[in-house]
Amino acid sequence: MKIFHIFPARLVKVLMISFFLFNVFNVQLLHAQAEEKPAAQLTPEQLKAVEGYFQNPDNKEMYLQFTAKEKMLQGKMLWNNREIIFTPQSELEFLSKDGNEGRPISAKFTKDPAGAITGVSLGNNGVWAKAKDYKPLVKEEMAHTPEQLKPFEGLYQFKRDKESFIQFMVRGNTLVLKQHGDGGEIVFVPQTELDFFNKQQLLQTVSFIKDEKGNITKAFAMRRDSLIRINKIHPTTSELKIFEGKYQSKDDADNIIQLSAKDNRLVLKQLWDNKEINLEPQTDTYFFNQEKFYSLGIIKDKDGKIVQVKLLGMDVFNKL
């Protein structure tokens, strides 16, 4: 029998966001399905010709640095200092086996009519233009107090994925993003009134949006993921009875839970060991226990009938 540990809560994992690793914000992998060729023998001058700093076409704060190194080309991601060694395939094409999940990464450089390097194409991720005046990224934390961070606290839902939620909370004099499901955390400090960054990874950013009344209503994480701030609902016990019933694990038929409405909340009971957890309604289909950091999502069919629940963002149970 698969055991779902309600007590104690799931261990918290630190969420390390990188633009080349999968994370809560759905960042693309930098890779190309390239066919490896025999390595070419380039002269030191040919390798030196492709050295330089190259700027991401979509994020102007993101740079790669290429440096000639022992007949190879070293690529360095300046936002997280990860290094990748490329093997020359020709004067302008290089290949590395150091991509995610063993996928090769191709780097193809471009020239202008005069023969000067103008950019580099990395798989299907566009052309990174060669920078003429690169300056290291610097961000400064603005003076602030915990009270100034309080308005940003709350539950936020991904616009593109209605089943995914994150929570912002004030801890000390920082704003902490906590991911519902695995408990991963990122610590932010303000750069401006509405723009925040992570001191260890400067490209980990979140920007907030106010409405005409000055209330925080939205946020953009990593400049690409739109988040909608959720106003907690307060249904009655009778309104919650539609969720009552037994639900069976999709992966293990021996695992059955029971949901009951009580005191304006849902009570989840594991029928294999009778352990219970109280879940507060957040939206009409999402429930959460703050102390245990435990979530339950309601899944409906196209007709609006409740057919499944999802625990901790991953464990699916079918309604019996």
Please state the length of the chain: 320
Mean pLDDT score, 133-138: 90
Do 224 and 242 share a structural domain? no
Q: End of a domain among 189, 205, 230?
A: 230
Q: Structure pTM?
A: 0.73
Do 157 and 199 share a structural domain? yes
pLDDT of residue 161: 81
Q: End of a domain among 215, 230, 245?
A: 230
- CA–CA gap between residue 23 and residue 5 (Å, rounded): 24
Instruction: Indicate whether 150 belongs to any domain.
Output: yes
Q: End of a domain among 170, 201, 230?
A: 230
3-class DSSP state for residue 81? coil
- Per-residue pLDDT tens over the stretch 300-312: 999 999 999 999 8
pLDDT over 60 (residue 93): yes
Instruction: Indicate whether 266 belongs to any domain.
Output: yes
Question: Which residue range is the domain that position 241 belongs to?
Answer: 237-319
Mean pLDDT score, 79-102: 85
In the chain, how many domains are there? 3
- Per-residue pLDDT tens over the stretch 27-54: 333 444 444 455 789 999 999 999 999 9
pLDDT of residue 79: 84
27 compared with 180, residue with greater pLDDT: 180
pLDDT over 60 (residue 102): yes
Instruction: Indicate whether 138 belongs to any domain.
Output: no
Cβ 68 vs Cβ 45: under 8 Å: no
Instruction: Indicate whether 200 belongs to any domain.
Output: yes
pLDDT of residue 8: 38
Q: Which amino acid is at 38?
A: P
Question: Where residue 315 sits, what CATH number does that domain have?
Answer: 2.40.128
Do 308 and 274 share a structural domain? yes
pLDDT over 90 (residue 196): yes
Burial class (CB in 10 A: 0-12, 13-18, 19+), 290: exposed
Instruction: Indicate whether 20 belongs to any domain.
Output: no
Mean pLDDT score, 2-16: 39
**Nearest 5 degrees, angle CA 239-CA 244-CA 247?**
150
